[in-house]
Structures are given as C-alpha cells and as structure tokens.
Amino acid sequence: MKIHLSAILLSLLFCGCIQQIALNSIGDLMDTGFSVLNEEQDLNIAEKSIASDLKLLETVIAKDPNNTHYLLLATLGYSSYALGFAEDDSVDRARLFYLRARDYGVRILRRNPAYARASGKNVDELRTALSTFSDEDLPAIYWTTVAWGSYINLSLTDPEALADLIQVEAMMEFVLDRSPSYFYGGPHYFLGTLYGSKPKMLGGNPDLAKHHFEEALKVNGGKFLLTYIFYAKSVAVQTQDRALFEQCLTIVDTTSIDVLPQARLANSIAKKKAHMLREKIDQLF
Amino acid sequence: MKRYPLFTKHILAFLLLVTPSIVLGQQYIIKFATIAPEGSTWMNVMKEYDQAIRSESGGRMGFKIYPGGVQGDEIDVLRKIRLGQLQSAGVTGNGLTTIAPKVRVLDSPFLFDSYSEVDSVYSLFNDEFSAAFKENGFVNLGWAEVGFVYVFTNSPVKSPSDMKSVKMWMWEGDPIAEAAFKALDIHPIPLTFNDVLTSLQTGLIDGVYSTPYAIIALQWFSRLKYMLDVPLADAAGAVVIYKKKFDELPPDLQDILLRNGHKYMAKLTKISREDNKKALQTLKSKGITIIEPSSPNILSTYDNIGRNARRLLVGKLFSEDLLNRVEKVVYDQRGHNGHRTK
C-alpha cells in the first residue's frame, strides 16, 4: 500500500485540480489505512506502518494545510504512536510525538475564534469558549487533550508545560460532559489517570479516579484493555494496592485481543504494557 | 537414578558460586519515600544518586524508591520509618519540625534575601544542624532546598498593610506561617494542602504562599494575579536516613552514602533554583504581575516584621542564641544594619 500511495503522491501532487483529487484519494486511503491498522495485532508491522503513514500524512497536510480530517488523523496518529511505540522506550521521543500531535490538534481548535482568544488564559474563559464548539468538534478536542495531557505528564521538569495542566483538565471535562462514552469511555479513563496518579496532598483523588475507571469499564465492557493498564499504573500504584494491580494485569493477560476486533492493535499494545508492568512490580510495591 | 547425585553436585557448586554475589547484591536496600512524582527533577536526581551508590558499592547498597507520595505524606512516612517499614525520606516543612525542629530556623520568616546568604548559613551551621538530626535518630544525607517562597494574591500588596485585606491561606499546623502572619497582623485561614485550589475557586481564600515552581505544579497560579517579590522564607529540605539503619552499614558504605548524598543533593538544589527561575518567567508569561516593593522603607518594614516573627518561634522551634547567630551571619554579609536594599 505504501508504494501505491507514494506513486500517486509523486505523480499527481503538483498538478492543480488533479492534485486535489489525488489528495482526496490519498486521504481516503489514509483513513482506511488507519482503520485497518487499528485491527492489526502484530506490533512490528503496526509500528512500521504507522510511522510511514504519518510521514505520508504530513506530506499531504503540507499541501492541504487546512484539512480538518487530515489534521485530526495526524493528531490521533502521533498520539497513538507515542503511547504504543515510544513512551516505554524513550521519553524524549514520546514527548516529541505527543507535542507534534497536540500542535496538529490545536491547529483545528484555533479555527474557533473564541477558543483562539481563550486558550492559555483564564480557565473560566476557556470553559466559556469550549461551550461554543459543536459535537462534531469533540474528536479534535479529545485527541488534542490526550496528546497535550500525555506531553505534560512526561514534562514535569518544565514549568511552561506544567502550567497548561488546568486547561487540559477543563478540556477533558468538557468532552466528558458532552460525550462520556467517546472512544471506549476515553474521557473517563483519562480523568481517572489524572486524578489517580497524584497523591491527595497534590490534588489527587483516588476515589474519584476509581469512579472514572469503573465508568469507563462499563462503557467498553472491559474489552478495551488499555483501561486496565491505566487503572493499574495510576490508582493501584498510587494507593499501593498490589492486588488491584495484579488483577488488572491478569485480566489483560487472559483476555483475547479479538474481544474487540476494531481495537486489536490497542489491545496488543495493552498486553505488551502489561508484560512490562509485571516485570516492574517489585519496584512499584 | 545414579545421575542425580552428580547433577545435584553440579547444582550445589553452581549455587555456591553465585550465591555470594546474589546476597551481596541485596545486602543493604534502603527504602526511600518522597512526595515528588516520577519524572520530576527531584526523582531524576534521586535516581542518579541511587545509581552512584550502587556503582560505587559494587551493587552492595541501593535505594528502593517510592515516589509520588505513594507511602503517604511526610508525617506518614516518618511514622513508617520509626516502625521499620521504610528507612529514608525527603523531608521539608512539617517533616523537619518533627525530626529536627531547630533546623527550621533556616526557613524562618523574611530571613534570607539571596542564595548567597542561604549558602553561607548552610555552610557555617551544617555540623550543628546535622547533630540536631542525629539527636532525634536521623542522619542528614544532604540538603535539598525547596526554594524561596513568595506570597501570591488576587489584589496588589504594595505595602505590608495591604496584606490585611487578603484572605490568606495557612498550611494547617505550620508554625512558620503562623508566626509570619501574626507578625503581619493578619488572620490566615488554616486549610490542608488539597483544599487550597477549591478554596481559591470559591473565594474562601485569595492569597497563598508557595515557591514559583510549586504554585505552577499545583495549578494554584491559575486563580491568582499578583506575586510579592519579597521572599517570605526559603523553604528548607533534606534527604534523611534513619540512624539505626545508617549505623548498620559498614563504614565504607556509610562514606559512599554520605559523600554521594551531599554531591547529588547539591546538584538537586542547583537544578531546583533553575526550575524556580524558569517558573517565575512562566508565571509572568501567564499574566501574574510581580510587585516590587516601591521603597527601601517598605523593605525595612518587612525586615522588622521578620525579626518579630522569628522571635515568636524562639522556644518553640529554636533557641534565641541560635537565631541570633544565624541572623548575625546574614546581617554581616548583607551590611546596611541587616536591612535588604533591593
């Protein structure tokens, strides 16, 4: 597929309206490509394919910079790549990709003048600005927030990055309010991770975090296995609940990746992470 | 069947060969807890410290690190140390009050105005303070300064009298803040740490004190507008180990632990100062207005308030003699009868 896409790109990219047709074709292929990738269970194939697809996607974006769909694909693509293939090996690479993902997402969001004015300012103004977005904008807000929050989580030595955490929290609360079940209960497990990773003294809330994880598991029926990984890494570690930690990992280990075919890749990544967490168990407890 | 004894012999020989290194590798594990989260400067340097002692001891000694407050706050951690569940911790404010109260002269109100003053006092009084830790059953492995603490408010505090209209937060049970605010003649609202952000949102309080880095990490800055550029205190911190555990270590390991402790905690202090400097720039870029005292008279007023506040702590945390000696070092270095002139 890569050769096929590259051939289209090289032959048609510089030819006026044909270029637009080509870009649309590539965009459709990219879209299908990402859906197919989500069903891939082999992590090696997935890693290589996502990496090359993302570079191709960036080429397309360079030629069609305002295309919301491509920008959104780049946001979720880079974010997913960082989560699945970078953050366990290289924090620096993961930060780079999360930041890139966030910046593509912010390009979509800043087209809303109210958001552009309020972003980075008072959080109350941001909340008001967020209310001007429609439901169609929720995926862009969600994926931008996931990338942004993950970037901050890996940037604790950078006050400039840390200062945006309250904005990120407000953005995900907005998505939770509008669409709590989006992406297998994503707003719930994101906020569960946020509240579950900090000690109470520093604003953590393990009870609220547990509530969010239980809600996420209700939404996805326990089939989106990354939920258990986030639960284990945050609440279980923070409350030093080794039994909960092991229970989460055991569920991930013993559940078939085919339990949710459209999220086979995410579930394969969850299994890889479960294995790595199990190896660290004596350091964590 | 006859092959088994031979096989067993081989296994035994193998075990005899490898067992000493396994035992040595796990001989002295020091369980250490801190509120600092994974990925923070604190934890990054702590991990370097751990690597250094593992390397120099040939794997005979190392930390098992519990970051992010998973073992509870400092008071919980110190209790667990006394129960033998942990052996070492990063301690600040309330933790220091518990194990070496006199050391809190280091973060007494309006004492320091520059890092050079801070460094002079730490250097000159190090032995005396280290003895204070030992008297209470702990060994100081290295100072890990938290940094200068400033007052942040929602209305501009141009003079000490402006402070009276501020609904000021006070960390519940913090004697330093209590003395400072008493000398400023204001009545703070005592709250736990985790109630502060909500209380800023509801308006129960509209003033707090913090280091620039911490106020960002805690997101309190998002509800505040002004920072008074007169340090309320320089928050002290240290990494300590329970003396019983320290005394169990062979002398060479004690030396490795102490030498690297001092080295890496000095590094941590240096980076923390840089982090706070960067945080101050971030606060400005996020719209926090920095209020410089408008005249030397106002600075002198804060100095006098500081002298009074520190004397409120005499007999509670430290002796008058110690306070006088510490102040003398600061004032001699500063000149101008001890008044700051910035």
Q: pLDDT digits over A246-266, tens only?
A: 999 999 999 999 999 999 999
Of the pLDDT bands very low, low, confident and very high (cuts 50, 70, 90), residue A14 is very low
Cβ separation B73–A201 shorter than 8 A: yes
Cβ separation B69–A200 shorter than 8 A: yes
Which chain B residue is nearest to residue A162, measuring alpha carbons?
B217
Give pLDDT, residue A19. Answer: 60
Cβ separation B217–A160 shorter than 8 A: no
- SS3 sequence of chain A: CHHHHHHHHHHHCCCHHHHHHHHHHHHHHHHHHHHHHHCCCCHHHHHHHHHHHHHHHHHHHHHCCCCHHHHHHHHHHHHHHHHHHHCCCCHHHHHHHHHHHHHHHHHHHCCCHHHHHHCCCCHHHHHHHHCCCCHHHHHHHHHHHHHHHHHHHCCCCCHHHHCCHHHHHHHHHHHHHHCCCHHHHHHHHHHHHHHHCCCHHHCCCHHHHHHHHHHHHHHHCCCCCHHHHHHHHHHHHHCCCHHHHHHHHHHHHHCCHHHCHHHHHHHHHHHHHHHHHHHCHHHHC
- B81/chain A closest Cα distance in angstroms: 16
Mean pLDDT estimate for chain A: 90
Cβ separation A123–B218 shorter than 8 A: no
Chain B residues whose CB is inside 8 A of the A237 CB are: 68, 70
Is B171:B193 a contact under the CB 8 Å cutoff? Answer: yes
Q: What is the pLDDT along chain B (342 residues), one digit of tens a residue?
A: 444 444 444 444 444 444 333 444 458 999 999 999 999 999 999 999 999 999 999 999 999 999 999 999 999 999 999 999 999 999 998 899 999 999 999 999 999 999 999 999 999 999 999 999 999 999 999 999 999 999 999 999 999 999 999 999 999 888 999 999 999 999 999 998 889 999 999 999 999 999 999 999 999 999 999 999 999 999 999 999 999 999 999 999 999 999 999 999 999 999 999 999 999 999 999 999 999 988 888 999 999 999 999 999 999 999 999 999 999 999 999 887 777 776
Give pLDDT, residue B18. Answer: 41
Q: Tokens representing A127? A: 């909340």
Cβ separation A240–B212 shorter than 8 A: no
Tell me the CA end-to-end span of chain A in Å, nearest whole number.
46
Cβ separation A201–B71 shorter than 8 A: no
Cβ separation A198–B279 shorter than 8 A: no
Return the residue matching tokens 């953590």. Answer: A204
Cβ separation B275–A239 shorter than 8 A: no
Q: For B49-58, which contacts have Cβ atoms below 8 Å and span 24 or more sequence positions?
A: B49/B260, B49/B261, B49/B264, B49/B265, B52/B260, B52/B263, B52/B264, B53/B256, B53/B257, B53/B260, B56/B256, B56/B260, B57/B28, B57/B252, B57/B253, B57/B256, B58/B24
Give pLDDT, residue A196. Answer: 96
Which chain B residue is nearest to residue A160, measuring alpha carbons?
B282
Which chain B residue is nearest to residue A284, measuring alpha carbons?
B66
Give pLDDT, residue A21. Answer: 62
Give pLDDT, residue B193. Answer: 84
Q: Tokens representing A39? A: 């069903």
pLDDT tens per residue, range A271-285 = 999 999 999 999 999
Give pLDDT, residue B9. Answer: 46
Of B197, B221, B287, the CB nearest to A203: B197
Which chain A residue is nearest to residue B271, measuring alpha carbons?
A157
Of B35, B69, B216, the CB nearest to A163: B216
Whether the per-residue pLDDT at A201 is higher than 90: the answer is no
Q: Which of A176, A185, A194, A177 is nearest to A260 (CA)?
A: A185
Q: Tokens representing B308? A: 């009074």
Give pLDDT, residue A210. Answer: 98
- A201/chain B closest Cα distance in angstroms: 5
Of A120, A163, A199, the CB nearest to B69: A199
Chain A residues whose CB is inside 8 A of the B275 CB are: 157, 159
Cβ separation A197–B37 shorter than 8 A: yes
Q: Which of B110, B119, B223, B114 is nearest to B177 (CA)?
A: B110
- B149/chain A closest Cα distance in angstroms: 16
As for the ipTM of the complex, it is 0.85
pLDDT tens per residue, range A122-174 = 899 999 999 999 999 999 999 999 999 999 999 999 999 999 999 999 999 99
Chain B residues whose CB is inside 8 A of the A121 CB are: 287
Distance CA B211, CA A195 (A): 23
Whether the per-residue pLDDT at A59 is higher than 70: the answer is yes
Give pLDDT, residue B145. Answer: 95
Chain B residues whose CB is inside 8 A of the A155 CB are: 39
β-bridge mates for residue B168, sequence order: B207
Which chain A residue is nearest to residue B69, measuring alpha carbons?
A199
Which chain B residue is nearest to residue A151, measuring alpha carbons?
B39
Please tell me whether residue B150 adopts helix, strand or coil conformation. Answer: strand
Mean pLDDT of A228-250: 97
Distance CA A189, CA A204 (A): 15
Cβ separation A200–B222 shorter than 8 A: no
Give every CB contact of residue B94 below 8 A, 6+ residues apart in sequence: B74, B75, B171, B173, B174
Give pLDDT, residue A111. Answer: 96
Which chain B residue is nearest to residue A240, measuring alpha carbons?
B70
Give pLDDT, residue B23. Answer: 42
Of the pLDDT bands very low, low, confident and very high (cuts 50, 70, 90), residue A22 is low
- A197/chain B closest Cα distance in angstroms: 8
Please tell me whether residue B268 adopts helix, strand or coil conformation. Answer: helix
Q: Which of A10, A6, A95, A93 is nearest to A56 (CA)?
A: A6
Interface test with B, best of A123, A157, A242, A280 (most B CBs within 10 A): A157
Which chain B residue is nearest to residue A206, measuring alpha carbons?
B70
Give pLDDT, residue A1. Answer: 44
Give every CB contact of residue A114 below 8 A, 6+ residues apart in sequence: A128, A129, A132
DSSP B59-113: TSEEEEEE-TTTT-SHHHHHHHHHTTS--EEEEEHHHHHHH-GGGGGGG-TT--S
Give pLDDT, residue B94. Answer: 87
Q: Which of A132, A107, A129 is nearest to A118 (CA)?
A: A129
Chain B residues whose CB is inside 8 A of the A159 CB are: 212-213, 216-217, 275, 278-279, 282
> Between β-strands B169-171 and B61-66, what pairing exists: parallel, antiparallel or unpaired?
unpaired
Whether the per-residue pLDDT at A25 is higher than 90: the answer is no
Give pLDDT, residue A45. Answer: 86
Cβ separation B279–A122 shorter than 8 A: no
Which chain B residue is nearest to residue A121, measuring alpha carbons?
B286
Interface test with B, best of A162, A235, A284 (most B CBs within 10 A): A162
Residue B328, H or E segment = helix B320-334
Which chain B residue is nearest to residue A201, measuring alpha carbons?
B194
Of A165, A201, A240, the CB nearest to B35: A201
Return the residue matching tokens 């000493």. Answer: B20
- A51/chain B closest Cα distance in angstroms: 26
Of the pLDDT bands very low, low, confident and very high (cuts 50, 70, 90), residue A48 is confident
Angle at B81 between CA B79 and CA B84, to 5 degrees: 115
Whether the per-residue pLDDT at A224 is higher than 80: the answer is yes
Residues of A with CB under 8 A from a CB of B: 91, 120-123, 153-160, 162-163, 165-166, 197-204, 237-240, 283
Say what percent of chain A tops pLDDT 90.
77
Please tell me whether residue B148 adopts helix, strand or coil conformation. Answer: strand
